[in-house]
Amino acid sequence: MLRTLPVLSFLLSTLHGSIAQNTSTLPDVLDAETIASLGNNSLFTRWRPISHFSAPAGWMNDPCGMMYDPTGDEYHLMYQWHPNHIDWGNISWGHATSKDLITWTDVGGWEGNDAESLVTGPVGSYNGLGIFSGTAQPVNLQGEQDGTLLAFYTSVSKLPTNWRIPYQNGTETQSLAISKDGGRTWQEYENNPVISHPPEGWNITGWRDPFFEPWPEMDSILGQSEPHWYAVFGSGIKGVGPRIPFYSAPANDLTNWTFLGALWEPSDNETLGDILETSTYAFNFEVSNFFSLVDEDGDVHYYTLFGAEGGNTTFHPRAAAGLWNEGIVTRRANGSAQFTPVAGGAIDSGLLYAVTSFNDTKNNRRVQWGWAVDELNQFVTQQGFNGAFALPREMYAKKTRGLINANGGLTTKGNNRVVEHSDGTYTAYTLAARPLPEVVSGIRNGTTQRNYRSAADLPVSSPRILGNGSDHMEIKATFRNVTGPAGLTIARSPGGEEYTTIYWDPSNYTINVDRSHSSTIDNIALNYTVVGYFYPYTFAKTGMEDIVMNVFIDGSLVELYINDRFWLTTRIYPGRTDSTGFGIYVDGSNSTHAEVPEFISWVGTANVFPERPLNSSSQLVFDTAEQTNNYTWWSGR
Ligand SMILES: *[C@@H]1O[C@H](CO)[C@@H](O)[C@H](O)[C@H]1NC(C)=O
Ligand SMILES: *[C@@H]1O[C@H](CO)[C@@H](O)[C@H](O)[C@H]1NC(C)=O
Ligand SMILES: *[C@@H]1O[C@H](CO)[C@@H](O)[C@H](O)[C@H]1NC(C)=O
Ligand SMILES: *[C@@H]1O[C@H](CO)[C@@H](O)[C@H](O)[C@H]1NC(C)=O
Ligand SMILES: *[C@@H]1O[C@H](CO)[C@@H](O)[C@H](O)[C@H]1NC(C)=O
Ligand SMILES: *[C@@H]1O[C@H](CO)[C@@H](O)[C@H](O)[C@H]1NC(C)=O
Ligand SMILES: *[C@@H]1O[C@H](CO)[C@@H](O)[C@H](O)[C@H]1NC(C)=O
Ligand SMILES: *[C@@H]1O[C@H](CO)[C@@H](O)[C@H](O)[C@H]1NC(C)=O
Ligand SMILES: *[C@@H]1O[C@H](CO)[C@@H](O)[C@H](O)[C@H]1NC(C)=O
Ligand SMILES: *[C@@H]1O[C@H](CO)[C@@H](O)[C@H](O)[C@H]1NC(C)=O
Ligand SMILES: *[C@@H]1O[C@H](CO)[C@@H](O)[C@H](O)[C@H]1NC(C)=O
Ligand SMILES: *[C@@H]1O[C@H](CO)[C@@H](O)[C@H](O)[C@H]1NC(C)=O
């Protein structure tokens, strides 16, 4: 995440005497003046996602420590957390567990700070100012599965830190924490930190978020005779370029990490391809992943995920972008691995960031989570929390045969790695991801499902509203023979005062989420149109593929999936409780038409924290000057 510079907050006084209010007394139509008069937490349930993972209250950011523990037969998911604040600070790990990845239980309970797992040590110690992100594995320090859980995280002893400012030597080190009771309590490893210095000679922009795994394929590539574990971090070299430093440790000693080298050497803000399609590598990487996936033919593909900080904001106004790359991996002369990118793009074209993954060993699949910050411009204290995770997504290496290079879009350096055949067709490889099928079924439990067959018969040539749902719902709609901008209208009020449109524009292969009318509340939230690149496949035999839009609306959170190859997460904050209408959007101004052979809605998606009350707010507490060294570590609001 962005570790912002400290700013003395003007809002400190608004946090005094915070008292949770009964949200049921809120008017159905909110305006800015009314909200400004409300106390802390009074909007807690108004736009709160319930079908997505979130902290009980307060600020959360990156997913951390996801793993399947075979001993307890349960999944763990932790997160960067500042329990009693709506802003980042004193960052620690919160923790929840699940038997099925559908419903979750706060470890220690949902109240106050009870769900904290790893917490900062005394100020002045190696982890006194922050437990930054990291990952976890169900093994002991010798790499054995004996019920022990092992977390690898970045310990922070100096602040502030940000890629734009001078790096204070010693800010970040890398540390281990151990749990002997299935994650209920954690102990710091006695010889922390286990990596005390960044790579020799690197004038770093940052150096954090260890991602570590056993990796037999990498042992073979590097010619290791003994099994090793591998780790990557997010980093960068000032004035040179972002970096993913690569480390290994003998499989029987996960305290002994050796720096091997950087995976590749991009220059500052270099791009793989066109900025709209691939974004830029920017200046600093965060939350990096490096893993392999096997395609349907048994061929191994190597991928990185990373958050790129400081990139070009022309199409992606957020200065932090979550990206993926596929690369060719070879052994370097010095024994390290060389990653040469061959394809890549946005891992989410909206706001999802710090996208990380783990090997779900129970199901042998790679599962991804990412962080969706709130986009409120104001009134965050009234909301009382900030952040949620997108649905867990299974990533896989997708191979598609029999394609033609329609308009040249298949062979651009970007989303697809292609092989051309003698008959003029292409095979394309890309990174695909879909929400975990059992999680989708799980949150559909209890919904009202409706199939709108009426939409299927005719080409639609003007917008039509099909139904009324709720602010916790899913839509799946298939578009065919689209001749102009077409897609969905969601979150529409009966009088049309508020609505959000999601459409594909075939003229430039863009997906657009127009939020300019998403809320009648003045300046409530960011309202720019979110834009991403989606180039549909065209088959030599059957023409262009259908465009299947799958949207999950959950409070303010809107998550869009298209054909397992496009993902966009964004936020809307409608002012009215009746803004739940939905339907088909076509740009009526340009004789656009579209066939919509399938349109299904599921209304009333499930709550994934059944043991928490819907209002799990905590009293907001701002830190004292003493706790924050006069707000030089964080703004303390
Ligand atoms: C940072 O600290 C380490 C050890 O504490 C030292 O070896 C290194 O020279 C320092 N680097 C700078 C730039 O001061
Ligand atoms: C590190 O980079 C900063 C910013 O570019 C520069 O001012 C500083 O001199 C560099 N330090 C070293 C040791 O190269
Ligand atoms: C750490 O691992 C390296 C090989 O990766 C090995 O050469 C070295 O002896 C190990 N150090 C210790 C203290 O075991
Ligand atoms: C990279 O950054 C430099 C300095 O900010 C800027 O001049 C240049 O246009 C950028 N290039 C791209 C492709 O964004
Ligand atoms: C960002 O990218 C756009 C489109 O390629 C380009 O026009 C613009 O100059 C870039 N901005 C910067 C700051 O480099
Ligand atoms: C998960 O780990 C197992 C070894 O424990 C390995 O065989 C498998 O290939 C991995 N799966 C993925 C999807 O990475
Ligand atoms: C659906 O939810 C109900 C509780 O609302 C639960 O009893 C039932 O087991 C769930 N069914 C499935 C398939 O998850
Ligand atoms: C409208 O249609 C024309 C002709 O097909 C096309 O050039 C133009 O890009 C379209 N405009 C939009 C907004 O789709
Ligand atoms: C795509 O084309 C439309 C016109 O159809 C235009 O309004 C929009 O700005 C274009 N998007 C991008 C990212 O170029
Ligand atoms: C969008 O937000 C900006 C402020 O960020 C505001 O000036 C503008 O009026 C908003 N647009 C609409 C349509 O509300
Ligand atoms: C719709 O698309 C299909 C295949 O993509 C094509 O066969 C059919 O002719 C198209 N129909 C119209 C009305 O364009
Ligand atoms: C904070 O600043 C005030 C006024 O400058 C000073 O009196 C106080 O000692 C400072 N406190 C700390 C903890 O540095």
Q: How deeply is 417 buried, as exposed, middle or buried, from its count of CB atoms within 10 A (0-12, 13-18, 19+)?
A: buried
591 CB neighbour count, 10 Å cutoff? 10
> Which residues make Cβ contacts (< 8 Å) with residue 214, sequence separation at least 6?
143, 227, 228, 229, 230, 251
CATH value at residue 551: 2.60.120.560
Query: What residue type is 287 in one-letter code?
Result: V
Q: Which atom of ligand 3 is nearest to the CA of 249?
A: 5
Query: What residue type is 549 in one-letter code?
Result: M
pLDDT band for 574, please (50, 70, 90 cuts): very high
Q: Which residue in 507, 516, 514 sits closest to 483, CA to CA? A: 507
Residue 634 above 90 pLDDT? no
Give the pLDDT confidence score for residue 12 in this predicted structure: 31
Residue 289 above 90 pLDDT? yes
Cα of 563 vs centre of ligand 3, distance in Å, is 46
Regarding whether 453 and 384 lie in a shared domain, the answer is: no
Regarding whether 277 and 132 lie in a shared domain, the answer is: yes
Q: Give the sign of the dihedral formed by CA 162, CA 163, CA 169, CA 171.
A: positive
Regarding whether 462 and 376 lie in a shared domain, the answer is: no
Decide if 232 is inside a domain: yes
Give the pLDDT confidence score for residue 13 in this predicted structure: 29
Decide if 111 is inside a domain: yes
Regarding whether 481 and 342 lie in a shared domain, the answer is: no
Regarding whether 135 and 201 lie in a shared domain, the answer is: yes
Regarding whether 90 and 200 lie in a shared domain, the answer is: yes
From 360, 361, 365, mutation site for ligand 6 pocket: most ligand atoms within 8 A of C-beta:
361
- 625 against 520, higher pLDDT: 520
Residue 399 in tokens: 């191979």
49 cis-preceded (ω within 30 degrees of 0): no
pLDDT digits (tens, 9 = 90+) for 106-147: 999 999 999 999 999 998 999 999 999 999 999 999 999 999
| pLDDT (mean) for 515-522 | 98
From 407, 510, 535, mutation site for ligand 9 pocket: most ligand atoms within 8 A of C-beta:
510
Give the pLDDT confidence score for residue 632 in this predicted structure: 67
State whether the beta carbon of 314 lies less than 6 angstroms from ligand 5. yes
Decide if 104 is inside a domain: yes
State whether the beta carbon of 507 lies less than 6 angstroms from ligand 1. no
| pLDDT (mean) for 266-290 | 98
Indicate the pairing of strand 426-435 with strand 393-404: antiparallel
Ligand closest to Cα of 204 equals 2
* pLDDT above 90 coverage of the chain, percent: 90
Cα of 487 vs centre of ligand 3, distance in Å, is 57
Question: Considering 379, 395, 411, which residue would you say is the last residue of a domain?
Answer: 395
Give the pLDDT confidence score for residue 629 in this predicted structure: 72
Using CA positions, which residue lies closest to atom 9 of ligand 6? 364
Decide if 636 is inside a domain: no
Decide if 320 is inside a domain: yes
Regarding whether 310 and 239 lie in a shared domain, the answer is: yes
* Domains held by the chain: number: 2
CA distances for 523 relative to 7, 420, 518, angstroms: 22, 50, 11
Average pLDDT, the chain: 94
Ligand closest to Cα of 238 equals 2
Q: How deeply is 507 buried, as exposed, middle or buried, from its count of CB atoms within 10 A (0-12, 13-18, 19+)?
A: exposed
Regarding whether 362 and 464 lie in a shared domain, the answer is: no
Decide if 466 is inside a domain: yes
State whether the beta carbon of 314 lies less than 6 angstroms from ligand 1. no
Give the pLDDT confidence score for residue 626 in this predicted structure: 77
pLDDT digits (tens, 9 = 90+) for 403-447: 999 999 999 999 999 999 999 999 999 999 999 999 999 999 999
CA distances for 180 relative to 14, 76, 307, 309, angstroms: 42, 14, 32, 36
Contact (CB, 8 A) for 593 and 461: yes
- CA 26 and chain centroid, separation: 31
State whether the beta carbon of 625 lies less than 6 angstroms from ligand 12. yes
Residue 4 CA to residue 637 CA, distance in Å, equals 13
Decide if 37 is inside a domain: no
Regarding whether 373 and 307 lie in a shared domain, the answer is: yes
Regarding whether 463 and 390 lie in a shared domain, the answer is: no
Could you tell me the residue range of the domain that residue 261 belongs to?
58-395
Residue 162 above 80 pLDDT? yes
State whether the beta carbon of 200 lies less than 6 angstroms from ligand 1. no
State whether the beta carbon of 508 lies less than 6 angstroms from ligand 8. no
Cα of 486 vs centre of ligand 11, distance in Å, is 16
pLDDT digits (tens, 9 = 90+) for 323-337: 999 999 999 999 999
What single string gives the DSSP state of each residue in 446-497? TPEEEE-GGGTSS-B-S-EEEEE--SEEEEEEEEES--SSEEEEEEE-TTSS
Residue 590 above 90 pLDDT? no
- 166 against 632, higher pLDDT: 166
Regarding whether 362 and 284 lie in a shared domain, the answer is: yes
Ligand closest to Cα of 539 equals 11
CATH value at residue 229: 2.115.10.20
What single string gives the DSSP state of each residue in 327-352? EEEEE-TTS-EEEEEEEEEES-SSS-
State whether the beta carbon of 591 lies less than 6 angstroms from ligand 2. no
| pLDDT (mean) for 39-62 | 97
Cα of 255 vs centre of ligand 3, distance in Å, is 10
Regarding whether 263 and 177 lie in a shared domain, the answer is: yes
Give the pLDDT confidence score for residue 24 in this predicted structure: 57
Residue 1 CA to residue 234 CA, distance in Å, equals 11
Residue 392 above 90 pLDDT? yes
Cα of 321 vs centre of ligand 5, distance in Å, is 15
Ligand closest to Cα of 528 equals 10
State whether the beta carbon of 484 lies less than 6 angstroms from ligand 8. yes
